[in-house]
Structure 1
Amino acid sequence: MNEVRQPSEPLRAALHHLAVETADLDNCVAWYTEFFGGTAAWSLDEFSDLTRSRLPGIVRLTEVVAAGTRFHLFTRSADYTVQQPDVLQFQHVCVTARSAAELEQWRVRWQQLFASGRYTFSRPDPPTEIVVDDDKVSSFYLYDVNGLEFEFTHVPAEAEGR
């Protein structure tokens, strides 16, 4: 296992976005923009292999920004079947890292805690590899002890603006 030096500052967690699955994206985007007083910032209809593996059947995604909060509202193809259709939930929570190095520290921290044997994980899958997209945005996914999914990301343009 990689030895991680202790950072000069403690690691911190900050909310990047909430991902919300919907059956009617246009209706959902309209409601989020009106209810939260936000705006639709961008939309996607092409996705990385990692995104498609995490969100099978994803068709469209729109980011709504409201009061400093990002909502990633997305829909899946009609042939995608939900495991529990009567259960609504957030798909994942994304946490911002200050740097690509800190992103790796979060990933290694999960591995160290898992290896310690002090915790029981309902879904003991290891974190994904860190991927970097065309915009130099780095991210990876992990599960907490309950099996809830977290994405950790570093967006260089946002870090420069801090």
Structure 2
Amino acid sequence: MTRPAPPRLHHIAVQTADLAQSVAWYEEYFGCRPTWSTDVFSPLTRDRLPGIVAMAEVKAEGVRFHLFEYEGTAGAQPLPEHPRFQHICLLATSSEELAERRRHWLALQATGRFAFAREEGPTDIVVDEDGVESFYFFDVNGLEFEFTHVPGGER
């Protein structure tokens, strides 16, 4: 089995109770600048994050944060079932690498050598309206990761 190249960080996803305040704080504290925001989500995102209403990306140098807010949480602390740390996204350099990363996860699971805290396999690879491809998966501890391929390298 061939091991893929080491991953590169794309973003860290964080739940917030006040999106505007969080964007402002990340600007002030980390020197981030807003790069995009949305209130339109794919069926996969709505399935994984029920009640999501808004998301914004802020970036400082090579570090991106995806800050997102759930319906009815403005001004409230996140519920225990909605952790503040949501996932870490790693960058794939091509569509082919993305597909290989997914195949590699499935191959490791098939060996039976690992006990997973969550029995869910990786999601299908989805493509958003900007052509960005991604899939989500859990490690053996139940921590969620995303691999993404951004055509053109930026978004």
Question: Normalization by structure 1: what TM-score?
Answer: 0.86
The answer (yes or no) to whether the contact 2:19–2:69 under 8 Å persists in 1 is yes
* Larger Cα-atom Rg: 1
Structure 1 distance, partners of 2:83, 2:106, is: 30
| Pairing partner for 2:107 from 104, 109, 112 | 112
Please give the per-residue CA displacement for 1:84-120, whole angstroms capped at 9, x wherever unaligned. Answer: 17x8531011010011011011101110110101111
CA RMSD of superposed structures (Å): 2.2
Residue 11 (structure 1) aligned with residue 23 (structure 2): no
Letter in 1 for 2:133: S
Please give the per-residue CA displacement for 1:21-69, whole angstroms capped at 9, x wherever unaligned. Answer: 0001111110001100111111101101011111111111011111221
Percent identity for Structure 1 against Structure 2: 53
User: For residue 24 of structure 1, what is the aligned residue in structure 2?
Assistant: 18
Structure 2 distance, partners of 1:27, 1:141, is: 28
The answer (yes or no) to whether the contact 2:32–2:59 under 8 Å persists in 1 is yes
Q: 3-state SS of the aligned residue for 1:28?
A: helix
| Pairing partner for 1:43 from 17, 37, 45 | 37
Structure 2 distance, partners of 1:82, 1:139, is: 25
**Structure 2: gaps spanning 5 or more residues:** none
Counting only pairs closer than 5 Å after superposition, residues 83-94 of structure 1 correspond to structure 2 as: 83-84=79-80, 89-94=84-89
Counting only pairs closer than 5 Å after superposition, residues 13-162 of structure 1 correspond to structure 2 as: 13-78=7-72, 83-84=79-80, 89-158=84-153
Structure 2 distance, partners of 1:37, 1:22, is: 18
Question: Normalization by structure 2: what TM-score?
Answer: 0.90
Which consecutive segments of 4 or more residues in structure 1 shift more than 3 A? none
1:135: how far off? 1.8
Paired residue total: 152
Structure 1 distance, partners of 2:64, 2:46, is: 20
**Structure 1: gaps spanning 5 or more residues:** none
